Structure 1
């Protein structure tokens, strides 16, 4: 005879089933939501958006450059580093298509190799790209021409592995060399003429290609693009710009150099700047600056940096310095800047506006190309 199951027993069984199901879904969701990259050994790829490269992840971590952050001297324009690397990646897209190639931070030039390349040439360091010290401490001294190098690798899939298919190497050249006549002494500045900079860059390019191809894993016949960048002076509000490029398809042979029409313009333009590039943008920015200064008295100043490629504006970054302290003032001002920017600043290129005091960022406004409005973030 079957034993009758009581209500209490049914409730106990039901509770057990609920607990089992809850634990099941907890671990299923956890396995689904937890990033598998952090536990996966080997090489994986990130998912790329439209017009962007897939990038390399190794053993759950982003693969950083083997020689990142190295420069010939500690002096330099802080804006240059970011503009140099981002501009180099944009240039790379004209040689290595994002849908076919995978981007990898430079892995073939070690930090020791790059340090040797950026140093002066000496009897013990013949690979140095900068000239020997001639002992002079005036305008006749041999300056530091090459300030920094950036390697970018472009890979293709080879079964379950990645294969190096091409490289882009950016060479940042000084337009002004800062030096000291004695240790811990005053800084002196040596201007490097455009002609000297261009000539010296072409001179050292084959030597650099030779050192790159000497590295383990770099084939003799992969294309290596050399892109030359002119650093801005230390006190410049804007960064520098790329000015020339060439490609080595094999050995140390380099194709004819081609000019890169890449310019950085600081707004408001100085009266001595007779260039026609950025004239319309300068008028719009001046009107924008006057408008917000007339509406709010606590404006310390506004500046902007525009990047132009083939004489066409590709991006603008605006900095507005204020003396606001209350949240209501910041919000009111950000909203007014929004309306003034829509009215006066260009809409054909992405624009970023940062509102800040001397010590902190208060608001950021961003508009993409051809958007009708800005997204406003109050910090």
Structure 2
């Protein structure tokens, strides 16, 4: 018992010495658009150099929750938010900017803009009307990026706007009737997105505080409602502070691919075979294995991250530890280290352990929950 107590105290002291010093947090004044100033805190630490620091206390976005009612696939919701922040890093350096959820476009405004920018809804409209007039736009997401000034204040340095567009438009011609689908090609979607983006920018410039700030806009193409992988951003553009017009769009070559799948086998055969063989190795070790689910994230057809979920029924913590060790060894032996890999081992929708390796790292990091 004495040995356990000494170990616990030593571990506690180690954790305390490594913990961030809360006294190092910086108190600043946040300039509001109406010239009033509000006290806020800039944390002295951040999770990593790739992540933004956030102003405290946390302020939820003015349109918080609206996206859930507009975008059907939960994976699209997560990817749109994370992806917009990822692309914002190329414009707003995390070393110089702070992140804050959108504080200018509120819930009512977002919904009104979506309705105004889509074809008008008609009661008992015909199938032909819906097919000729699909509602292209799903959601408008705002993110704010703040800069710290010399006078110990922070102010808005730029805004990012994500525009979610449908790849499939679902509709009914009458209540309780069948659901129809109308596919939307990417070229048709971009033609409409360009018009929509221009009108959104006009609206933004009329909002107090957004008249003269840089804006980064990105177009997100949603996947089908039941898709096991999210959609992706397809284009982006940067609009200077003194501009009220959308310029040229830069194509974004991102794509999420499911493994195993026909698309994965056809377009990324080597990665498909790697995930398949990984699954076979798992099956030879564990009798309760039900199948590996892989998701590859590609940029310009180059694999950036492989995410794998292994759902298994466990009957004790020892099984979890033993299987995690086995999976850890397979990852080191089978997967090259030039891209990130994340393996989640789950049981009854509960995360049991996580194995993660950054690009270039030789050894993965393991967390057993």
- Which of the five TM-score ranges fits, normalised by the shorter chain? 0.7 to 0.9
Question: Which of 248, 256, 262 is the equivalent residue of 1:270?
Answer: 262
Which residue in the other structure is 1:210 paired with? 202
What SS class does the counterpart of residue 42 from structure 1 fall into?
A: strand
Between stretches 264-273 and 167-176, larger displacement belongs to 264-273
Q: What is the rounded CA distance, in whole Å, between the counterparts of 2:69 and 2:176 in structure 1? A: 14
Residue 162 of structure 2 corresponds to residue 166 of structure 1: no
**Residue-by-residue CA offset, 1:81-131 (whole Å, 9 max, x unaligned):** 111111111111111222222222211111111121222xxxxxxxx2222
Q: 1:349–1:89: structure 2 CA closer, same or farther, 3 Å change rule?
A: same
Q: What is the rounded CA distance, in whole Å, between the counterparts of 2:327 and 2:76 in structure 1? A: 27
Which residue in the other structure is 1:79 paired with? 75
Residue 290 of structure 2 corresponds to residue 294 of structure 1: no
Structure 2 stretches lacking a partner, 5+ long: 1-19, 29-37
Residue 310 of structure 2 corresponds to residue 320 of structure 1: yes
Q: 1:175–1:271: structure 2 CA closer, same or farther, 3 Å change rule?
A: closer
Which residue in the other structure is 2:249 paired with? 257
Question: Which of 218, 225, 229 is the equivalent residue of 1:234?
Answer: 225
1:301 Cα deviation (Å)? Answer: 1.0
Q: What is the rounded CA distance, in whole Å, between the counterparts of 1:55 and 1:312 in structure 2? A: 31
What SS class does the counterpart of residue 282 from structure 1 fall into?
A: helix
Q: What is the rounded CA distance, in whole Å, between the counterparts of 1:362 and 1:33 in structure 2? A: 31
Alignment of 1:111-260 (within 5 A): 111-119=107-115, 128-134=116-122, 135-137=125-127, 140=131, 142-158=133-149, 159-183=151-175, 187-220=179-212, 222-249=213-240, 250-260=242-252
Q: What is the rounded CA distance, in whole Å, between the counterparts of 1:273 and 1:182 in structure 2? A: 40
1:305 Cα deviation (Å)? Answer: 1.0
Residue 326 of structure 2 corresponds to residue 336 of structure 1: yes
Q: 1:320–1:155: structure 2 CA closer, same or farther, 3 Å change rule?
A: same
RMSD over aligned CA atoms reads: 2.7
Which residue in the other structure is 1:20 paired with? none
Verify the 8 A CA contact 1:225 1:248 in the aligned structure 2: yes
Verify the 8 A CA contact 1:284 1:346 in the aligned structure 2: no
1:345 Cα deviation (Å)? Answer: 2.5
Verify the 8 A CA contact 2:68 2:77 in the aligned structure 1: no
- Report the structure number with the largest CA radius of gyration: 1
Between stretches 362-371 and 264-273, larger displacement belongs to 264-273
TM (norm. structure 2) is: 0.82
Q: 1:231–1:350: structure 2 CA closer, same or farther, 3 Å change rule?
A: same
Q: What is the rounded CA distance, in whole Å, between the counterparts of 1:84 and 1:281 in structure 2? A: 25
Q: What is the rounded CA distance, in whole Å, between the counterparts of 2:280 and 2:293 in structure 1? A: 12
Matched length: 334
Q: What is the rounded CA distance, in whole Å, between the counterparts of 1:280 and 1:340 in structure 2? A: 17
Q: 1:324–1:154: structure 2 CA closer, same or farther, 3 Å change rule?
A: same
Q: What is the rounded CA distance, in whole Å, between the counterparts of 1:271 and 1:79 in structure 2? A: 19
What SS class does the counterpart of residue 300 from structure 1 fall into?
A: coil
1:269 Cα deviation (Å)? Answer: 3.2
**Residue-by-residue CA offset, 1:294-347 (whole Å, 9 max, x unaligned):** 222211111111111232222221111112223332222222111112222342
